[in-house]
């Protein structure tokens, strides 16, 4: 990417001094220059540069969501519900709503007994973003990681 592609008029001094940073658009896995930031974009940079770049983004007025980084986090993966207690019907109802599932209410107790439950394929970063507002659901969502289930929101 050239310097011109990484800049945007009026975006603040930070972008003028940090040309060329690329963001991944989580909705389709494509790349975006920094002047096309969306709510579904993730910064791609060296781990050692992350804190400095994030601070610059905040100073420029960009919303930055702090969340733990999972190793090799996929963009799109099968999302599973697991580890919901057998008496956790209310939790399953909240997960149903979050995931946009249409599981009949009459089947929810059977679903609890059959965990893990494959819900749907989904955007892992988008799911993590949604979990910032509902932390009590974090322990119950997982994504497929080459045949094993990994938490959508890993422990810090």
pLDDT digits (tens, 9 = 90+) for 48-58: 666 777 777 77
Residue 117 CA: distances (Å) to CA of 33, 125, 141: 37, 20, 10
Do the Cβ atoms of 154 and 70 come closer than 8 Å? yes
> What is the pTM for the complete model shown?
0.60
Between 151 and 59, the more confident residue is 151
State how far the Cα of 6 lies from the Cα of 42, in Å rounded to an integer: 15
Taking residues 72-80, what's their average pLDDT?
81
pLDDT digits (tens, 9 = 90+) for 87-112: 999 999 999 999 999 999 999 999 99
């Amino acid at each position: 990417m050239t310097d011109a592609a990484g800049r945007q008029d009026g975006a603040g001094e930070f972008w003028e001094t940090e040309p060329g940073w690329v963001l991944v658009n989580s909705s389709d896995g494509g790349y975006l220059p920094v002047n096309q930031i969306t709510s579904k974009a993730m910064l791609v940079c060296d781990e050692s540069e992350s804190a400095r770049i994030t601070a610059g983004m905040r100073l420029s007025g960009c919303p930055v969501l702090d969340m733990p980084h999972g190793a090799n986090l996929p963009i799109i993966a099968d999302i599973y519900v697991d580890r919901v207690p057998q008496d956790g019907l209310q939790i399953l109802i909240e997960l149903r709503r979050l995931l946009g599932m249409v599981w009949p209410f009459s089947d929810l107790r059977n679903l609890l007994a059959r965990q893990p439950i494959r819900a749907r394929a989904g955007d892992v970063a988008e799911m993590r973003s949604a979990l910032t507002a509902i932390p009590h659901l974090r322990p119950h969502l997982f994504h497929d990681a080459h045949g094993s289930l990994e938490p959508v929101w890993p422990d810090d």
